[in-house]
Amino acid sequence: MEQSTFIQQASTKKNKAATQSAALQEPRIIRYTLTCIALAFLAFFIVLPLVSIFITAFQKGVDVYFAAITHPDALAAIKLTLIVVAITVPLNAIFGVMAAWALTKFNFKGKNLLLTMVDLPFAVSPVIAGLVFILLFGSQGLFGDWLFAHDIKIVFALPGIVLATIFVTLPFVARELIPLMQTQGTSEEEASISLGASGFKTFWYVTLPNIKWGLFYGVILCNARAIGEFGAVSVVSGHIRGMTNTMPLHIEILYNEYQFAAAFAVASLMSVMAIFTLIVKDIIAWKSKSS
Amino acid sequence: MMKKRSYVLQSLALLTMLTLSLAGCGSANSDEKASGQEDKKSVELLNVSYDPTRELYEEFNKDFIKKWKDDTGQDVTINQSHGGSGKQGRAVIDGLEADVVTLALAYDIDEIAQTRELLNKDWQTEFDHNSTPYTSTIVFLVRKGNPKNIQDWDDLIQDDVSVITPNPKTSGGARWNYLAAWAYAGKLYNNDETKIKEFMKSLYSNVEVLDSGARGATTTFVERKIGDVLIAWENEAYLSLNELGKDEFEIITPSLSILAEPPVAVVDKIVDKKGTREVAEAYLQHLYSDIGQEIAAKNYYRPRNETILAKYKEQFPQLELVSIDDFGGWAKAQATHFKDGGTFDEIYVPQ
Amino acid sequence: MSSLIIPKKSRRIIPGFHLSLGYTMLYVSLLVLLPLSMIFIHTMSLSWSAFIDIITDPRAVASYKVSFSTALIAGLLNVIFGTIIAWVLVRYQFPFKRIIDGLVDLPFALPTAVAGIALTSLYAPNGWIGQFFNFKIAFTPLGIIIALTFIGLPFVVRTVQPVLQNISAEVEEASASLGANRLQTFRKVILPELVPAILTGFSLAFARALGEYGSVVFIAGNMPMKTEITPLIIMTKLEQYDYAGATAIAVVMLVTSFILLFTINLIQWLANRRFVH
């Protein structure tokens, strides 16, 4: 008796779903229009600039392209950029998880203020982001005399570039995780703890699997921005060729030397790097799904 | 209570970790430097320069490295840093350890001498010719065939002429452009200041794009094909002619212009700290040698050496030149014209 | 500041409050607050009247207008097109969707100067796109809007996308089964869910656009009073070794951005509280 009504209900539900699929989908014309608008927008704002970069990069031929990206100065710039990214991204990822944990799992006064502080680096002009580190660690800065006396270099050397990059990319991971963890709530963690799991175990086996993709996404954006940051780094780098030039600064130098093809060759390499990280993400997502 | 203490302790531990890692990065760097110094067989120089000198110093450095090796047996590595003149000056003030500075205007080096006393106030007497081994001047780059028939400064204020020049407030080089125009108007109107300002106003109202740097302006003119005339340094004009198209542009030399003096200096405090004074001085002195002058001329800078200048006289036509001293020196020129509220700002005050 | 942050509930099951909050506060203080405080310290060297003179200078005021209006328009453009792009990427199928999805992040990865140069070459009067228009795009406020839209696009798309993915089909089904048509479902069911994300995306894109320098200087033309943005005014002051003047303008920008972000965070927090509790 009970079973039959259940089946009946299920079948009516199925029928309903079939008749309602139209109501769950937009009319075809709207679907096409929206897709076209989105694609046209992306074409004008992203694809065309990208195409123009690649065309300029290969304008003088493949030889010039490869000469540009294997030039010692270019290699030094690539190496420096990778070092900066390797320091920046893990630090900001750990920070992002910590901040998201504090801001979503607990309630406390001043929460909004702290959240806004985390957002603030997005709103600071890159020029200013670089300048503040000069004002702190430059020779006229707050710690300038002390650093000079101890012969420690922060600005116009690697630490300064790293600091500026950390500043600019600080909110990405946190910003990606906070809305996600907010919707997930705290019930799963509470259950795990009350079953006797330690805090760390709870985080590792309960929270982390839930926020995995958000974390990954935040890391990718953070990584992309760390590779591409120009304004702030330009202020603290000192522009010493082959030593403190990151890839964006190297591009600027080439461009200013009228080596347009070489400049855009390095730029195209950077865009490939950015797209590559996304492909990696897709592969991992696909593998984890199939397993 | 317990909890509170552990929280404080944890924060402290993290703070120490962060500081240590930072200091670690920093001292690792200084270690490298120290070991480089002890090894007398090699020496490092950092030349902080402005944008358009890349090609010049690339060639010159090669020659000096060879000469220094021959003279002393020492290997010298010369690191180059290029950027806007003002930005570079600021970097040196803020701690970029330059052994020598080669900037676009004396004003920027004066600023280094004043704010941090890194070098002597009378640094300009250290080397010959106001410590300026090469000079340049301000000329016009026009499209091939000179369709708007631009010959001199007063052609630039015609209604149908579109002018490209960088912003003198952000580009050190562009201050020479502004002063050259001012000097011409001064001669034309017998130093009547209202009339000169009128002239400058109509000139800058013809400016279509005010780029932030000299090379940006060149790109706007050459690549974007905007404007009828680019006001540029002579060496920049020649360089764009050769790099970007001889059959597309030509250079027009006006009747009067300014003697642009990009000076050089040894940064005393830094070379004394690093122990590089000898090589730094030799480096700048080498710019005055015949071969140094020749390299400058080949890179379209006017050499100071008369014989070498004569050799390249086709490249460098004679014209009437005023100098910065006619404006009372850089400190005065800066205050009158380019400070906030100076004559350049007056141009853009809405009426 | 730490006295402000007192946990509301003394009974907490989930551990790590002190550790995570302590670490967050330390990190933010060292890497955000300490550096940014330098701006205020340097501005202090000015007298109050000098400060007011600098920030109300006609050119500075004109630059605020340019910066705010272009950033606002760019932000709104991003809201409209960013939401459509996110919608299309989540809901519809079309060829090369994966690659197109990846391209959305490009504005973050490309150095802003390269973006500026590439956009200028496209939208200049002799560029691929610019030649089809009989008015100028590059070197006018339009050019600034284009550059700012470009750099802010990922913010909106990437904040809307995950939320859209999480809206369960059941809610929409329920709405449809109650007789709502598609437009009604969208307006009454889907849009309210999206609004917080759109708002966040907008505020981040707007804030970033306000401070953007590298890409804009190439495409703006930089004419005083007309296309001069506020970050360029800061650069101008720095070129004259006027650190105090530069930081004064920076304070104006910083405070504005802070208020904007704080207000939007507050709105979201209030909205959350109303719905959740």
Q: What is the pLDDT of residues C56-92, one digit of tens each?
A: 988 899 999 999 999 999 999 999 999 999 999 988 8
Tell me, yes or no, whether B32 lies in a domain.
Answer: no
Same domain, A47 and A142: no
Same domain, B229 and B84: no
Does the pLDDT at position B217 exceed 50?
yes
Question: What's the CA gap between C21 and A63, in Å, rounded?
Answer: 53
Least confident of A20-24, A173-177, A278-282: A20-24
Q: A77 pLDDT band (50/70/90 cuts)?
A: very high
What value does the mean pLDDT take over residues A78-92?
94
Cβ <8 Å between C58 and B18: no
Q: A9 pLDDT band (50/70/90 cuts)?
A: very low
pLDDT, tens only, C209-221 = 998 988 898 888 8
Same domain, B62 and B204: no
Which chain A residues have a beta carbon less than 8 Å from that of B95?
137-139, 144, 147-148, 153, 155-156
What pLDDT is recorded for position B84? 84
Does the pLDDT at position B25 exceed 50?
no
Tell me, yes or no, whether C3 lies in a domain.
Answer: no
Same domain, C145 and C57: yes
Q: Does C6 touch chain B (CB under 8 A)?
A: no
Tell me, yes or no, whether A9 lies in a domain.
Answer: no
Q: List the one residue out of B235, B265, B231, B237 whose CA is nearest residue B251.
A: B237
Question: What's the CA gap between A189 and C137, in Å, rounded?
Answer: 54
Mean pLDDT over each residue of chain B, to the nearest integer: 86
Same domain, C171 and C59: yes
Question: CB of B148 within 8 A of CB of B160?
Answer: yes
Same domain, B121 and B232: no
Q: Spell out the residues 6+ positions from residue A239 whose beta carbon is closer than 8 angstroms to its own.
A: A245, A249, A253, B81, B82, B83, B88, B91
Count Cα atoms within 13 angstroms, Cβ side, for B237.
25
Same domain, C24 and C87: no
Cβ <8 Å between C23 and B225: no
Cβ <8 Å between B95 and A139: yes
Least confident of A78-87, A165-174, B174-183, C7-16: C7-16
Residue whose token pair is 């330390």: C26
Mean pLDDT over each residue of chain C, to the nearest integer: 85
Tell me, yes or no, whether B197 lies in a domain.
Answer: yes
DSSP secondary-structure letter at B43? E
What pLDDT is recorded for position B10? 53
> Rounded to a whole number, what is the distance in Å from the CA of C135 to chain B's nearest CA?
14
Q: Residue C194 is part of which domain span?
A: 52-276
What pLDDT is recorded for position C10? 43
What pLDDT is recorded for position A160? 94
Question: What's the CA gap between B244 and B257, in Å, rounded?
Answer: 25
DSSP secondary-structure letter at B161? -
What pLDDT is recorded for position B18? 53
Question: What's the CA gap between B208 and B223, in Å, rounded?
Answer: 15
- Pick the residue from chain C with its C-alpha nearest to A113: C262
Does the pLDDT at position C11 exceed 60?
no
What pLDDT is recorded for position A290? 66
Tell me, yes or no, whether C4 lies in a domain.
Answer: no
Mean pLDDT over each residue of chain A, to the nearest integer: 84
Same domain, C128 and C77: yes
Does the pLDDT at position C24 exceed 80?
yes
What pLDDT is recorded for position A239? 86
Structure tokens at A80: 């420096």
| Cβ atoms < 10 Å from Cβ of C178 | 9
Nearest to B79 among A148, A157, A243 (CB): A243
Q: Residue C87 is which amino acid?
A: W
Does the pLDDT at position C148 exceed 90?
yes
Does the pLDDT at position B198 exceed 50?
yes
pLDDT, tens only, A87-126 = 999 999 999 999 999 998 888 888 889 988 998 898 888 8
Question: What's the CA gap between B177 and B169, in Å, rounded?
Answer: 12
What pLDDT is recorded for position A90? 95
Tell me, yes or no, whether A10 lies in a domain.
Answer: no
Which chain C residues have a beta carbon less than 8 Å from that of B204?
none
Q: Any idea what the CATH number is for the domain that residue B193 is in?
A: 3.40.190.10
Question: CB of B233 within 8 A of CB of B138?
Answer: yes
Does the pLDDT at position C2 exceed 50?
no
Pick from B33, B96, B220 the residue to mutate for testing the A interface (most A CBs within 10 Å). Answer: B96
- Pick the residue from chain C with its C-alpha nearest to A109: C5
Per the structure, how many domains does chain B have?
2
What value does the mean pLDDT take over residues B270-275?
90
Q: Spell out the residues 6+ positions from residue A243 whose beta carbon is closer than 8 angstroms to its own.
A: A76, B79
Tell me, yes or no, whether A3 lies in a domain.
Answer: no
Per the structure, how many domains does chain A have?
2
> Rounded to a whole number, what is the distance in Å from the CA of A68 to chain B's nearest CA?
17
What pLDDT is recorded for position B195? 94
Tell me, yes or no, whether A116 lies in a domain.
Answer: yes
What pLDDT is recorded for position C9? 47
Q: Residue A53 is part of which domain span?
A: 16-57
Q: Does B17 touch chain C (CB under 8 A)?
A: no
Q: Does B340 touch chain C (CB under 8 A)?
A: yes
Q: Any idea what the CATH number is for the domain that residue A116 is in?
A: 1.10.3720.10
Q: Give Cα B186 to chain centroid, integer Å.
A: 25
What pLDDT is recorded for position B34? 41
Partners for A (CB, 8 Å, 3+ pairs)? B, C
More confident residue, A276 or B142: B142
What value does the mean pLDDT take over residues A165-191?
86
Same domain, A232 and A172: yes
pLDDT, tens only, B31-69 = 444 444 445 688 999 999 988 888 899 999 999 999 999
Does the pLDDT at position A4 exceed 70?
no
A-C Cβ pairs (cutoff 8 Å, strict)? 321
Same domain, A37 and A150: no
- B47 phi/psi in degrees, rounded to 5: -105, 110
What value does the mean pLDDT take over residues C31-37?
92
Which positions 143-202 of C are in contact with B (Cβ < 8 Å)? Answer: none
Cβ <8 Å between A135 and C38: yes
- Pick the residue from chain C with its C-alpha nearest to A283: C98
Per the structure, how many domains does chain C have?
2
Q: In this prediction, what percent of chain C has a pLDDT beyond 90?
A: 33
Does the pLDDT at position C7 exceed 80?
no
Nearest to C236 among B169, B172, B334 (CB): B169
Tell me, yes or no, whether A175 lies in a domain.
Answer: yes
Same domain, B86 and B179: no
Same domain, A128 and A223: yes
Partners for C (CB, 8 Å, 3+ pairs)? A, B
Tell me, yes or no, whether B278 lies in a domain.
Answer: yes
What pLDDT is recorded for position B349? 74
Same domain, C22 and C109: no
Same domain, B60 and B151: no
Same domain, C41 and C93: no
Q: Which of A25, A40, A57 is the last residue of a domain?
A: A57
Same domain, C36 and C149: no
Same domain, A156 and A33: no
What pLDDT is recorded for position B21? 52
Which chain A residues have a beta carbon less than 8 Å from that of B97?
153, 156
What value does the mean pLDDT take over residues B18-34?
45
Q: List the one residue out of B1, B10, B79 whose CA is nearest residue B46.
A: B79
What pLDDT is recorded for position A256? 80
Tell me, yes or no, whether A5 lies in a domain.
Answer: no
Same domain, B125 and B180: no
Q: Does C138 touch chain B (CB under 8 A)?
A: yes
Same domain, B109 and B162: no
Tell me, yes or no, whether B140 lies in a domain.
Answer: yes
Same domain, B337 and B266: no
Same domain, A42 and A65: no
C263-270 own/partner pairs: CB under 8 Å, 24+ apart: C264/C199, C264/C200, C264/C203, C265/A112, C265/A115, C265/A116, C265/A119, C266/A112, C267/C199, C268/C196, C268/C199, C268/C200, C269/A111, C269/A112
Same domain, C30 and C118: no
Partners for B (CB, 8 Å, 3+ pairs)? A, C
What pLDDT is recorded for position C273? 65
Does the pLDDT at position A242 exceed 60?
yes
Question: What's the CA gap between B174 and B155, in Å, rounded?
Answer: 19
Same domain, B232 and B328: yes
Which chain C residues have a beta carbon less than 8 Å from that of B14?
22-23, 26
pLDDT, tens only, B307-340 = 999 999 989 999 999 999 999 999 999 999 998 8
User: ipTM for the complex?
Assistant: 0.83
Question: CB of B168 within 8 A of CB of B86?
Answer: no
Q: Any idea what the CATH number is for the domain that residue C135 is in?
A: 1.10.3720.10
Tell me, yes or no, whether A131 lies in a domain.
Answer: yes
The CA-atom distances, in angstroms, between A22 and each of A28, C94, C166, C169, C175 are: 10, 19, 21, 13, 13
Same domain, A85 and A178: yes
Same domain, C72 and C31: no
| Cβ atoms < 10 Å from Cβ of A139 | 21
Does the pLDDT at position A21 exceed 80?
no
Q: Is residue B102 within a helix (H) or strand (E), and if so which, with residue range?
A: strand B100-102
What pLDDT is recorded for position C12? 64
Q: Which H, E and C letters describe chain A, residue by residue? A: CHHHHHHHHHHHHHHHHHHHHHHHCCCHHHHHHHHHHHHHHHHHHHHHHHHHHHHHHHCCCHHHHHHHHHCHHHHHHHHHHHHHHHHHHHHHHHHHHHHHHHHHHCCECCHHHHHHHHHHHHHCCHHHHHHHHHHHHCCCCCCHHHHHHCCCCCCCCHHHHHHHHHHHHCHHHHHHHHHHHHHHCCHHHHHHHHCCCCHHHHHHHHHHHHHHHHHHHHHHHHHHHHHHCCHHHHHHHCCECCCCCCHHHHHHHHHHCCCHHHHHHHHHHHHHHHHHHHHHHHHHHHHHHHC
Q: Does C242 touch chain B (CB under 8 A)?
A: yes
Q: Residue B111 is part of which domain span?
A: 40-132+262-287
> Rounded to a whole number, what is the distance in Å from the CA of A225 to chain C's nearest CA?
5
Same domain, A80 and A45: no
Q: Does A120 touch chain C (CB under 8 A)?
A: yes
Same domain, B79 and B207: no
pLDDT, tens only, C92-105 = 888 888 788 888 88
What value does the mean pLDDT take over residues C183-212?
86
